[in-house]
Amino acid sequence: MTEGLATPDGVPTPALSQLYRRWAAGGAGLLLTGNVIVDRNHLERPGNVVVDCEPDAAMRAALAGW
């Protein structure tokens, strides 16, 4: 799945977390995310989550909430 719901800097947004909560509430046994980018020079699309370095505190908090 590719959602395109990260910030321009690649940080997951509350909207992305809400989307996964909605899917989980629907009874899915397993949810797999798609397109978590490890090199911001090669995005699949704008709005991808990007983890291409040691995450700072804000990124770690956003990832934990996701």
Total domains in the chain come to 1
CB 38 within 8 A of CB 52: yes
Residues 6+ apart with CB under 8 A from 47: 3, 4, 5, 6
Assigned domain for 38 exists: yes
Q: Check pLDDT > 90 for residue 34.
A: no
The percentage of residues in the chain with a pLDDT greater than 70, rounded to a whole number, is 98
Enumerate residues 6+ apart whose C-beta is below 8 A from 29: none
Domain of 40 in residue numbering reads as: 14-65
Query: Does residue 18 sit within a domain?
Result: yes
Per-residue pLDDT of 4-22, as tens digits, reads: 999 999 999 999 999 999 9
Q: Residue 9 domain-assigned? A: no
Assigned domain for 4 exists: no
Task: Please give the Cα distance from 41 to 32 (Å, whole number).
Answer: 23
Residue 31, pLDDT above cutoff 90:
no
What is the reported pLDDT for 5?
A: 95
- 3 in a structural domain: no
- What letter would DSSP give residue 53? S
